[in-house]
Chains A and B, each alone.
Chain A
Amino acid sequence: MHGLINQAIERFARATYGNGFWERVCRRRNLPVLTFEAMQSYDPEVTEALLDGMAQVLGKPRGEVLEDIGTFLVSSPSTGALRRLLRFGGTGFVDFLLSLDDLPARVRLAVPELELPQMELREHGARSFSFVVRTEGAGKPWFGHVMVGLLRAMADDYGALVVMEHMGASPGREIIAIMLLEASFAEGRRFDLGARAP
């Protein structure tokens, strides 16, 4: 697993629940207390173990933990660079949604080793979309849940009012339903093309 993903999980855990929590999760899964390097690769089992460990310690379904991580990725000041990179996708939330097909390619441009699952946005009407994540292998679904949290936070960022739901996973894919209630419901956060990432 790419270090960026593991590091995101670690940052989320430490920032949201504290260092003690992170240490407890690591110990519970018989892992050394881990600090991940963003630009290194790790055994995927470590990631799985940490996600399961967090769900156990928090007493929450894994999907919810993953959604929280997705939201954290966009809304935490410590990950401001990612939010900015996502905002390059479009000037409005719908524009942004439509740019998601390109997300894996965009990510590859920035970090060639970071492979994301293929994803596809389907338009069912001006306000109704579904987002399909294609997952490979037999691993537990995770990316769709992260995307739900991330898209929710991005909708907030754009000032759009959106209802989103993870519709579950079938072998090979996860589906997210997206209803756009209002494209410009609130002010949204500013985005200057030329600003430096915080």
Chain B
Amino acid sequence: MSFVALDSVKLGAVLDTLCPMHLLLDGTGHIRHAGPAMRKLSPGGAPEGMHLAELLDLRRPRASDRMEALLALAGRKLHFALRMPPRTELKGVLVPLPSEAGAGGEAPAGAVLNLSFGISIVDAVRDFALTSADFAATDLAIEMLYLVEAKSAAMEELRRLNTRLDGARIEALEASVTDKLTGLRNRRALEPVLTRMAETRADFALMHLDLDHFKGVNDTFGHAAGDAVLQAVACRLTSGTRDRDTLIRIGGDEFLLVLPEQSRTEAVADLAHRLIGEIARPIPYGDRRLTVSASIGASLSRGYDPLDPVRMMHDADTALYAAKAAGRGIYRLYTPELGQMGAGRPG
């Protein structure tokens, strides 16, 4: 059958509307015509006369960019990239044109190469300032851009919600391990701290501290005075210890101090005596001055192999009661001998 000669001007006009990102190639691979969108992607906006290989780099399938090689890939999915930055990646398909009437069938008549952005479209519309007129009316590109933008907006909203919820979660978590009255840690913080100490395998000291005359303050001056004393004690404990120490109010007037990297008997004793001294200073309350004292029992992780935080707690407790038994404002370090005497504890 014989085709009516497809003159490239008429064919180009049809293709401009149907597929604005096309190239009409002649038999040698030179560009005869480019669709309006393709012109925007070309240097100087006019690729006519350039060889296809000057404009586009054929990435896949690997083949020579001579026209004969390209024609052999007719109908297959081709991957190109623009030679010029930003080297946008393009997908394409090539269809040979029927031989021109009178061309004698010698030279190939050329081909139509239709191109699209594929997944690079989001960057490409920005890089080349494309508008919806650059896409065929039937192309889903605009819907895709819409979807990308709509989904990003929805994701952004979710991200914000997530950040807010996460902030609330951290706050709640913080509140759940904080003692409201003193701002120290509460009992719930104890287990995680001891677990962490056990995991790091570094030496640490445990101090169990108990106030000596606290009940008297509560009974004589009321609970508000008691609260003021506890807050003052917490404050003095905090300023007397390091940031990495964990101070826990385990209940009533009892405190537990977890002191990482404290392994020397003398250093722990010094600290204990300093804290006892601090706490013994009178506490201003209204126009009164309240006085309490503190007893401290301690145990050192160095003495345990394998490390046993539960026993350490128990032993610090034993030392505390030994201190209490010895009077007020006394510090005792746990020793096995104390453990043997520990049977009869004062209340």
Contact = CB atoms under 8 A, between A and B. Distances in A.
Contacts of A197: 149, 152-153
Interface string A66-107: 000000000000000100110010010000000000000010
Given A85-B146, A88-B142, A91-B131, A193 B125 contact: yes
Given A194-B125, A194-B129, A39 B158 contact: yes
Given A91-B131, A193-B131, A84 B161 contact: no
A110 B129 contact: no
A198 to B, nearest CB: 11
A109 interface: yes
Contact of B154 (A106, A110, A193): A110
Given A88-B145, A109-B147, A193 B153 contact: no
B161 A39 contact: yes
Given A39-B157, A81-B153, A85-B153, A106 B129 contact: no
Contacts of A163: none
B233 to A, nearest CB: 39
A104 to B, nearest CB: 13
Query: For the side of the interface on B, what is the size category?
Result: 20 to 34
B41 to A, nearest CB: 14
A58 interface: no
B146 A106 contact: yes
B134 to A, nearest CB: 9
Given A193-B145, A194-B125, A110 B153 contact: yes
B132 A91 contact: yes
A85 B153 CA distance: 10
Interface in A109-136: 109-111
B130 interface: yes
B151 interface: yes
B153 A194 contact: no
B130 A193 contact: yes
A28 B222 CA distance: 43
Nearest to A86: B146
B202 interface: no
A27 to B, nearest CB: 24
The interface centre, meaning the residue of B123, B131, B132, B151 with most chain A CB atoms within 10 A of its CB, is B132
Contacts of A109: 146-147, 150
Contacts of A37: 161
Contact of B133 (A85, A88, A91, A111): A91
A38 interface: yes
Contacts of A187: none
Contacts of B123: 194
Nearest to A112: B154
Given A91-B133, A192-B129, A193-B145, A85 B150 contact: yes
A88 B125 CA distance: 13
A138 interface: no
Interface string A177-198: 0000000000000001111010
A84 B156 CA distance: 15
Contacts of A81: 149, 153
Given A39-B161, A81-B153, A85-B153, A195 B146 contact: no
Interface string B125-149: 1110111110000000011011101
Given A81-B153, A85-B149, A110-B153, 7 more contacts: A85-B153, A91-B132, A106-B146, A106-B150, A109-B150, A194-B123, A197-B152
22 contacts: A38-B161, A81-B149, A85-B149, A88-B142, A88-B143, A88-B146, A88-B149, A91-B132, A109-B146, A110-B150, A110-B151, A110-B154, A192-B129, A193-B125, A193-B130, A193-B131, A193-B145, A194-B126, A194-B129, A194-B130, A195-B126, A197-B152
Interface of A: 37-39, 81, 84-85, 88, 91, 106, 109-111, 192-195, 197
